[in-house]
Structure 1
């Protein structure tokens, strides 16, 4: 009799255990929120919104009319890594 019981438990165990675990988990989840109370909705900003806010705060004190010209920007750009071993053209 015991071998038949163990064979049935091994065969049908997942079909019985999953619904039981699901019910226990759902009851525990709702019980926890009942004890804690309802969560307060909070404003969650995305990463892009936080970045835009930070950039706007950085630009508040700066004068937006004073920018580097394109020629000044090009002087400080490093040479490409692939052109380092080639002789420069005169």
Structure 2
């Protein structure tokens, strides 16, 4: 009798497996809806947060250097792409202010 049952199950495996998997999936989906918290608080996008932060920095004056000092203009072409480790002490003290 047992070999006959195995032969039937082997022959009709796709027909038996698909409804069984569907039932397990439906039960799991229902349990997840019951157990899980469905509330997701609103959070502004990263781009929006960045724009707000940049606007606040511009408004406070931290982002814009004084144009009379011209810190952003290199004295020579060799200082244009100078790494922080190669700068002398005068430049370091000015950049820390």
Q: Which bracket does the TM-score occupy, shorter chain normalised?
A: 0.3 to 0.5
- The TM-score with structure 2 as length reference comes to 0.45
